[in-house]
Homo-oligomer: A and B are copies of this chain.
């Protein structure tokens, strides 16, 4: 039986805190292949809740789930040049079956634009077949050099949407609709506020015309890209020859989009809401929303009775777990806290003398003692308060730590303090490379909603004398 170990305080060493929390919360194990993860029930359960809720939203929008193959023949992959260049160094390559060499090499999908291109080519004949709006939940492999649980691993899970349209405006609109959908999802389900924006040309997806992103701020001030949506225009349809007959019987290349969120979101949840007692799972995606903690059940039979009663009543609406082990009360509380269960209800003989139990919030650690028959009337409200409190705290932090700079030295200072820094910037690749080399920060996005100064000002780069009214958000990122 594993025992609970100390968690390094997050103020002391954030990276160490993160790995401690991930381990102590029993969220992951390490796979036998370096850089791969085992998603244990505590983390996979969150992913399942994300899938469930996102699938419901997708279904209401007419998005259809499909499943495409894992392997991409080399000859098929090689066609769209930008895409190839972007992904080639990370491609796990199948060359043999057992000891037999295959006549062609196959790549394990790092993303599935190429596979969907093949499907679209086969499925699309006329404008009447369009739009096609597909999504798949899948595993992908990218052979990363440095890895970090959830944030960067050689295999991860995600959903990837792929669409084909007759109308470029419709495709562009969908690209933006999806990034807004992700931003809303992050707010409403994960209690994570995000900055919505467009990637700079240097940072956009390999093969896209434009990329939109949602960027979240972790507790250490660093950015985490939490979802992206790409307008692919006709880049893939021209490369893969995906045409449709328009109403005038002319052949036209389809317009495409793709968009996705991944198990990185689990990392985002931990680093947005976690504290020195462990993770805090936002109630709407928590695999268990309530822990029923039986205390000294062997001393008083009423403990088990009330715990059963509460389980029956609460399970109708919420996801409930019972801790009926004979471990010490302190251990049980710490175990529930470390796993981030939003609420725990302690059921012990002393409280029960007055028919009471104690409800403990994971986020504020606030305790409320209530009659056990009244518990069910409190849960909905408390869970909503927890969600809102998590969101509000994260939003306050994001707002406090987002600053503007117009001078390059000032910018460097602020970025080194792990701020989100918004600067007037011309978006030249060379300037982005310079900033990255000098500060470690990258262009996160050109934020959508900004109260910008009315007049154009000089680009922040000392060597650039152009005026611009484009403002770009820079930060160190995961």
Q: CB-nearest residue of chain B relative to A107?
A: B98
Which of A123-131, A211-219, A289-297 is the interface stretch?
A: A123-131
Instruction: Determine if B1 and A33 form an interchain contact, defined as CB atoms under 8 angstroms apart.
Output: no
Instruction: Determine if A33 and B69 form an interchain contact, defined as CB atoms under 8 angstroms apart.
Output: yes
Partner among B65, B71, B123 whose Cβ is within 8 Å of the Cβ of A36: B71
Cα of A94 to Cα of B1 in the assembled complex, Å: 36
A97 within 8 A of B: yes
A105 cross-chain contacts in B, Cβ below 8 A: 96
A89 within 8 A of B: yes
Partner among B65, B72, B129, B143 whose Cβ is within 8 Å of the Cβ of A97: B143
Instruction: Determine if A1 and B128 form an interchain contact, defined as CB atoms under 8 angstroms apart.
Output: yes
Instruction: Determine if B65 and A38 form an interchain contact, defined as CB atoms under 8 angstroms apart.
Output: no
A72 cross-chain contacts in B, Cβ below 8 A: 32-33
A71 cross-chain contacts in B, Cβ below 8 A: 31, 33, 36, 92, 141, 155
Instruction: Determine if A38 and B69 form an interchain contact, defined as CB atoms under 8 angstroms apart.
Output: yes
Q: Chain A 93-109, CB within 8 Å of chain B: the 1/0 string?
A: 11111100000011010
Instruction: Determine if A68 and B38 form an interchain contact, defined as CB atoms under 8 angstroms apart.
Output: yes
A91 cross-chain contacts in B, Cβ below 8 A: 97-98
Copies in the complex: 2
Partner among B36, B94, B128 whose Cβ is within 8 Å of the Cβ of A92: B94
Cα of A162 to Cα of B190 in the assembled complex, Å: 31
Q: CB-nearest residue of chain B relative to A71?
A: B33
A157 within 8 A of B: yes
A323 cross-chain contacts in B, Cβ below 8 A: none
Q: CB-nearest residue of chain B relative to A104?
A: B33
A44 within 8 A of B: yes
Given that A65-B41, A98-B88 are known contacts, is A155 also in contact with B125, CB under 8 Å in the complex?
no
Q: CB within 8 Å of B: which residues of A?
A: 1-2, 29, 31-33, 36-41, 44-45, 47-48, 64-73, 76, 88-98, 105-106, 108, 115, 118-119, 122-123, 125-126, 128-129, 134, 138-139, 141, 143, 155, 157
Cα of A45 to Cα of B67 in the assembled complex, Å: 10
For the complex of A and B, the 7 pairs showing the least CB-CB separation, nearest first, are: A31-B69, A36-B69, A41-B64, A39-B67, A93-B96, A97-B143, A33-B71
Instruction: Determine if B1 and A126 form an interchain contact, defined as CB atoms under 8 angstroms apart.
Output: yes
Q: CB-nearest residue of chain B relative to A319?
A: B59
Cα of A408 to Cα of B477 in the assembled complex, Å: 73
Distance in Å: Cβ of A42 to nearest Cβ of chain B:
9
Distance in Å: Cβ of A436 to nearest Cβ of chain B:
23
Q: CB-nearest residue of chain B relative to A41?
A: B64
Cα of A93 to Cα of B64 in the assembled complex, Å: 32
A66 cross-chain contacts in B, Cβ below 8 A: 38-41, 44
Given that A40-B66, A126-B1, A155-B69 are known contacts, is A108 also in contact with B94, CB under 8 Å in the complex?
yes
Instruction: Determine if B94 and A94 form an interchain contact, defined as CB atoms under 8 angstroms apart.
Output: yes
Q: Most chain-B CB neighbours within 10 Å: which of A45, A67, A122?
A: A67
A128 cross-chain contacts in B, Cβ below 8 A: 1
